[in-house]
Amino acid sequence: MKNYLYLLSIFLWMPIIALSQQLKVIDNDKLMEIGTYYYPEQWPENEWERDIKKIKDLGLEFTHYGEFAWSTMEPEEGRYNFDWLDKAIELAAKHNLKVILCTPTPTPPAWLTNKHPDVLIKNSEGRIIQHGGRQQASWNSLVYRNYVEKIVTMMAKRYANNKTVWGWQIDNEPSHYSSFDYSDNAQKAFRQWLEKKYTTINNLNTAWGTAFWSQTYNNFEQIIIPNGKETLQKPNPHAMLDFKRFTGDAVSDFVLWQQDLLKKHIPAHQWVTTNLMADHSIVDPLRFKKLDFVTYTKYLVAGFDMGHGEQGFRMGSSNAIGFANDWFRNITGTTGVMELQPGQVNWGWYNPQTMKGTVRMWIYHVMAGGNKFVCNYRFRQPLTGLEQYHYGIMQTDGTSVSTSGEEYTQVAKELRLLRKEYNPEATAPKSYSDRKTAILYSTDSRWDMEHQPQTFQWDYVKHINKYYKILQSFVAPVDVIDETHDFSQYPVLIVPACQLLDKKLVARWKEYADNGGHLVITCRTGQKNRQAHLWNEKLSAPIYDLIGAEELFFDMLPEERTAHIKMDGNNFKWNNWADVVKPSKNTEIWASYSDQFYEGKAAVTRTKSGKGSVTFIGVDSDDAKTETVVLKKVYDRANIGTENLPEGVVMQWKHGFWFAMNYSSVVQTINIPANSKIIIGQKDLKPAEVVIWK
């Protein structure tokens, strides 16, 4: 009997131990760990130990192998060669580096795609994407998945009990780099996806509104992927929305399927992630919640982001890393940055040098966002291939540290000091947590508005980031959430342009406000149902009771024209979008249109709702002045204090520390309380400098 109870106790404790190990690995008490990518397969073996030892000597703590090494792992079909990888992992172990091991699925070998060209994706022009780049294989190809299953299973079995393997990255930035897949694999999988969703073709015809322009289908086989290159006008918006949903499901399914393959063999403490671009594309991070956690990659300086002021193009915008932190952290509660730009890159519109100190500032911004680790692509600058001019930690000679490498090294040293001061149990100052704010992200709304923006000046990502930047200036901690989150934990909830919704969501918002929440709804919210149909009611009718106003119409102006609203006696400019509303009798008008044919009509309204409030912001401006004043009024009326940081300055509390970063192009003085202990930096920050205090 005793033996039976003993055995039972082991079985009971095993999952608890496994979970605690997993949580320990992910939620370590090292504040944040720092590492770099290394590609043994791209360097002479006699340089490996020199390089790997250097990674350690520079203070880095882990490295990352294998995401592009399939043709080295399996040079011919069925002939596997992992000896080189074994040696590279042994060298990492010898120098006390952990290893993130990757599945090599972004780059199938030439022998595979030559034998099975059907695994390749087809682009919107109908051209097959050939071997010679990367990400050329279709997630929907069963033939491809057979090869993936073999090599991933082989890796999992080989390295499951290797103590140096910290965790696994699946694929690399799984995406087709903003191309959709129109291959036969995708066509077939899309039809299957639709049949599973709609069951009957009549249900699909109703959902897609196919009576419009006689688009009615008789069966699922008639359906082809909507492709703007194959229709004279834009494709059916409902079909397009479903195709984006299908593609989002296809890429997440491909990654989660690999996680399942790994977890058949690897121990619980070897976590599994992938590294998504923190962009707003067809790869929807919210579809990866079943991963242990999701990491992101971030590059800010490549000619597309002018940042703040004269030298901002060398630092990027202050919201870029912050938004990514606050978005990805809320997908599973834990996140990391798998690639943080390591200095000058090669693929940009133009590729300027980063300002001295910028990489270090970015690393601290990553830390302030609660990331468990930060890594970069890559340790050595490549001498060959399409990324020859891409900085690494080391210069082209492999022995001289690059300018940005110096910055990684500096942070690695400072980390040891911060770890001594780190208190994982610290709680945020009350004034800070009192202004905790959620921004509700709606992927479907973004996808639908991208297809039908109504105006070339509409941009969902700019719209949502406008509010994010205002909250940064308030020094408000932000969570970027989705509908699955509990709204009640946030004093303020901002719902930007949630165009697609259902009446249950509106009821949840009402309940949130009635219970004391302060809800901010912006323009275009509630125009459509979940199938992107306009309501068979007045425009946006489901939100009228909630906002205490009725939508009359919306307007927009050409770029060359500017209109105005009046608020508290001041004039503000807009021209992107205007919802013109008629408030009900108990609703306050905070701003009215002060020109155009609808002068005097309401632009911004506020209504009490139970113990809370609902503010509706009907305009979308470029300068964010209207939105800033309105948000300030919301917090003031809610007796929630806010700061007022200058543009480009970020201040965040995390881990018991205050962090301030200066992305602006001028010296900024940070208001540090007299009794504070400055641990790193000083209160007068030059551009790209950081100060950390407690």
In the structure encoding, which two tokens stand for residue 186, read together?
């995708």
Residue nearest to ligand GLA (CB): 297
- How far, in Å, CA of 613 to CA of 165, rounded? 51
**Is residue 173 a contact residue for ligand GLA (CB under 6 A)?**
yes
Comparing CA positions, the residue from 397, 402, 389, 418 lying closest to residue 359 is 402
- How far, in Å, CA of 130 to CA of 36, rounded? 30
Amino acid code (one letter) for 587: T
- Identify whether the C-beta of residue 615 lies closer than 8 Å to the C-beta of residue 449: no
What's the residue count for the chain?
A: 694
- How far, in Å, CA of 516 to CA of 31, rounded? 35
Residue partners of 58: CB distance under 8 A and separation at least 6: 393, 401, 405, 408, 409, 412
Question: Which CB atom, from 106 or from 370, has the smaller least distance to ligand GLA?
Answer: 106
Q: Write down the least CB distance from residue 251 to ligand GLA, Å.
A: 15
- Give the Å distances, CA to CA, from 273 to 31, 163, 167, 256, 538: 19, 18, 8, 9, 45
Q: Write down the least CB distance from residue 64 to ligand GLA, Å.
A: 11
**Is residue 345 a contact residue for ligand GLA (CB under 6 A)?**
yes
Question: Which CB atom, from 71 or from 531, has the smaller least distance to ligand GLA?
Answer: 71
Are β-strands 563-567 and 588-593 bridged in parallel, bridged antiparallel, or unpaired? antiparallel
Question: Which CB atom, from 252 or from 442, has the smaller least distance to ligand GLA?
Answer: 252
Binding residue (CB under 6 A) for ligand GLA from 22, 297, 402, 522:
297
Question: Which CB atom, from 139 or from 377, has the smaller least distance to ligand GLA?
Answer: 377
Question: Which CB atom, from 133 or from 333, has the smaller least distance to ligand GLA?
Answer: 133
The footprint of ligand GLA on this chain (CB under 6 A) covers a number of residues equal to 9
Comparing CA positions, the residue from 99, 40, 35 lying closest to residue 68 is 40
Binding residue (CB under 6 A) for ligand GLA from 36, 105, 113, 172:
172
Question: Which CB atom, from 266 or from 277, has the smaller least distance to ligand GLA?
Answer: 277
Question: Which CB atom, from 176 or from 601, has the smaller least distance to ligand GLA?
Answer: 176
The upper half-sphere exposure of residue 356, i.e. CA atoms within 13 Å in the direction of its Cβ, equals 3
Cβ burial of 573 (10 Å; 0-12, 13-18, 19+) is middle
Question: Which CB atom, from 38 or from 432, has the smaller least distance to ligand GLA?
Answer: 38
Q: From the CA atom positions of the chain, what is the Rg in Å?
A: 26
Binding residue (CB under 6 A) for ligand GLA from 33, 41, 284, 339:
339
Amino acid code (one letter) for 452: Q
Report 390-419 residues binding ligand GLA (CB under 6 A). 390
Question: Which CB atom, from 317 or from 527, has the smaller least distance to ligand GLA?
Answer: 317
Comparing CA positions, the residue from 665, 671, 672 lying closest to residue 686 is 665
Question: Which CB atom, from 387 or from 545, has the smaller least distance to ligand GLA?
Answer: 387
Question: Which CB atom, from 235 or from 316, has the smaller least distance to ligand GLA?
Answer: 316
Name 198's bridge partners. none
Q: Write down the least CB distance from residue 157 to ligand GLA, Å.
A: 26
- Helix pair angle (237-263, 142-159), 10° resolution: 30
Binding residue (CB under 6 A) for ligand GLA from 288, 377, 474, 657:
377
Q: Write down the least CB distance from residue 268 to ligand GLA, Å.
A: 27
**Is residue 577 a contact residue for ligand GLA (CB under 6 A)?**
no
Cβ burial of 623 (10 Å; 0-12, 13-18, 19+) is exposed
x/- track of binding to ligand GLA for residues 117-156 (CB under 6 A): ----------------------------------------
Q: Write down the least CB distance from residue 645 to ligand GLA, Å.
A: 30
- How far, in Å, CA of 365 to CA of 325, rounded? 9
Residue partners of 638: CB distance under 8 A and separation at least 6: 491, 492, 518, 613
**Is residue 380 a contact residue for ligand GLA (CB under 6 A)?**
no
Question: Which CB atom, from 13 or from 347, has the smaller least distance to ligand GLA?
Answer: 347
- Helix pair angle (443-451, 237-263), 10° resolution: 140
Question: Which CB atom, from 403 or from 531, has the smaller least distance to ligand GLA?
Answer: 403
Q: Write down the least CB distance from residue 127 to ligand GLA, Å.
A: 22
**Is residue 41 a contact residue for ligand GLA (CB under 6 A)?**
no
In the structure encoding, which two tokens stand for residue 283, read together?
């790869």
Are β-strands 62-65 and 98-102 bridged in parallel, bridged antiparallel, or unpaired? parallel
**Is residue 299 a contact residue for ligand GLA (CB under 6 A)?**
yes
- Identify whether the C-beta of residue 204 lies closer than 8 Å to the C-beta of residue 194: yes
Comparing CA positions, the residue from 144, 142, 146 lying closest to residue 106 is 144
Question: Which CB atom, from 135 or from 668, has the smaller least distance to ligand GLA?
Answer: 135
Question: Which CB atom, from 242 or from 339, has the smaller least distance to ligand GLA?
Answer: 339
Q: Write down the least CB distance from residue 3 to ligand GLA, Å.
A: 52
Q: Write down the least CB distance from residue 291 to ligand GLA, Å.
A: 17
- Alpha helices of 27-141 — where are they, by DSSP H? 45-57, 70-73, 83-94, 110-115
- How far, in Å, CA of 339 to CA of 354, rounded? 16
- Give the Å distances, CA to CA, from 656 to 144, 198, 420, 427, 648: 48, 51, 12, 7, 23
Q: Write down the least CB distance from residue 337 to ligand GLA, Å.
A: 11
Question: Which CB atom, from 54 or from 390, has the smaller least distance to ligand GLA?
Answer: 390
Q: Write down the least CB distance from residue 341 to ligand GLA, Å.
A: 7
- Identify whether the C-beta of residue 390 lies closer than 8 Å to the C-beta of residue 345: yes
The residues that touch ligand GLA, with contacts defined as CB under 6 A, are: 172-173, 297, 299, 339, 345, 377, 387, 390
